[in-house]
Amino acid sequence: MSTYDNEFKEQAVAYVHNHPELSKKQCADQLGVNPNTLHTWLSKARKNEAFRGSGNYQSEEAKEIARLRRENQAYKDALNILKKTIKILGE
């Protein structure tokens, strides 16, 4: 699976708009991308949605929430290990 940076996506959308004589499939073939991928980029551009890369979060708040959830899970895992250790040592 290929990943494309935001600049490439924006240029691909501009390419489609600058070449109305070509079908979207022809544009996708010229750009070397899947037609469905190009369609998604065009749809997001029409809705003025920002392009996000793989693994990126919509906002800093969402990123912080994800970080806190991972941290919380790490603490839970450590607590469970300590409980098991105490149980083993108590026997």
The CATH number covering residue 9 comes to 1.10.10.60
pLDDT of residue 1: 62
Whether residue 5 is found in the same domain as residue 38: yes
Pair (51, 64) in one structural domain: no
For the entire predicted model, the pTM comes to 0.53
Q: Give dist(CA 33, CA 21) in Å, integer.
A: 18
Expressed in angstroms, the distance from the first to the final Cα of the chain is 52
- Position 47 scores a pLDDT of 82
Domain of residue 72, residue span: 57-91
Q: Among candidates 30, 36, 37, which has minimal Cα distance to 3?
A: 37
C-alpha angle 77/78/82, rounded to 5°? 120
Same domain, 42 and 86: no
pLDDT at 74: 93
Residue 52 is predicted with a pLDDT of: 58
Q: Are residues 51 and 61 in the same domain?
A: no
According to the model, what pLDDT value does residue 64 have?
A: 84
Residues of the chain with pLDDT under 50: none
Q: Which residues contact 37 (CB under 8 A, 6 or more apart)?
A: 4, 28
Q: State whether residue 58 is helix, strand or coil.
A: coil
